[in-house]
Amino acid sequence: MREPLPADMFDELCPSALNPIRFGDKWAPLVIHCLEHGPRRFSELRVPLKRVTPKVLTQSLRSLERDGLVKRTAYAGATPHVAYELTPLGRSMLEPMAVAYAWVEEHWEELLDARESYDDRAHVDRAG
């Protein structure tokens, strides 16, 4: 049996939140990361992705499925359920994502400083 996904897997200030390299939607890389070690049910994904509404998580999963990165499997039986897993194409995203996350970790302070500076300037521009 796989380990459950940790509830604090994606802290609000985790490097993934600052990653300027995006594909799909904002949550796609986090979903892919959650599926790295095997299939997960929707309720399992909701634990670390608690900041994502169920509707938005569903949209992200559908988008990833449409792009061929995630496979959705429906299971019939006494307790029907659905599981999501990475396709080989989705797995091929893991290495470039690891490189992007390493870059974010290396430039964490610069990214935070740049965003803070921008937000400060934007606040002054709106107030003035």
pLDDT digits (tens, 9 = 90+) for 94-104: 999 899 889 98
The count of C-alpha atoms lying within 13 angstroms of the C-alpha of 17, restricted to the half-sphere facing its C-beta, is 11
Residue 101: name the closest of 32, 38, 49, 40 by CA. 32
pLDDT at 11 over 80: no
Q: What is the pLDDT of residues 41-76, one digit of tens each?
A: 999 999 999 999 999 999 999 999 998 999 999 999
Task: Please name the residues in contact with 100: beta carbons below 8 A apart, sequence gap of 6 or more.
Answer: 19, 21, 29
pTM: 0.74
| Alpha helices (runs of H) in the chain, residue ranges in sequence order | 15-18, 28-34, 42-46, 54-66, 88-91, 94-106, 108-127
Q: Which domains are present in the chain?
A: 15-127 (1.10.10.10)
pLDDT score of 3: 85
**Are residues 60 and 25 in contact, defined by beta-carbon separation less than 8 angstroms?**
yes
Distances (CA, A) of 81 to 44, 75, 123: 12, 5, 47
